[in-house]
Amino acid sequence: MDLLNFIFRLGVVFAIFGFIWGLISLGIRILTMGRQKQTAEVYILKAVQYLLLVDVTFLICYDQSIKGLNYNSQLVFGTIVLLLYFVGKFQQRKNKQLLFSVYTNGMPNLEPTFNAKAEIAVILMAIAAFVLFWFQPEFAINPISVWFKDSILDIESTPIFGFIFKVIGFFFLLNIIMKVVNSILMLLSGKAFDKTDDSSNNNDDDHFDSFEEIK
């Protein structure tokens, strides 16, 4: 039960963080209106976003006043939940770019470029930062991350907004449970070790290369 409560709590934290970051992103878009974002700019901003998220997540796990799992368990499961969250975001962006390329049929891409290698690099950097905080917790404590954490906890405690984000946290919990269950079922069934058909892979490569930068 403590594990479920912990995952639920992280779901609420992620949702509120996404809301705050969305406001920040909106402000950036307004300031840069009319200018096409470059790939490097997109991933530098994403790296900042992910590093802030893991920083805030660590502070939530590090807060001894929050009842639940013990400190080490929270860090372990926090790492797993973060990884699942980032991988889910990666898959969403990959699928979105694939659909966009299909429907536009070669037309110029108006969306920021998707680069799988850059996405993976940002995710690995974020997870590495979270692990680093295990051994050097003082690195996680800075005015920006503390402000994010306090703002998230304040919003969580409000009656209306807090309830809305708790509903989102509940669905986040269900999503994590389904991912874990599906992974276990795939391992038990042996599908995770099946070799993909080479011909289908060739067709996919002819249609879309997820590691190729689309312009």
User: Which tens digit of pLDDT belongs to each residue from 134-161?
Assistant: 899 999 999 999 999 999 999 999 988 8
Residue 200 has pLDDT above 80, yes or no: no
pLDDT of residue 114: 78
This prediction has a pTM of 0.78
For the chain, give percent helix, strand, coil, nearest 5.
80, 0, 20
Domain ranges of the chain: 2-207
CA distances from 205 to 71, 95, 195, 209 (A): 45, 15, 16, 5
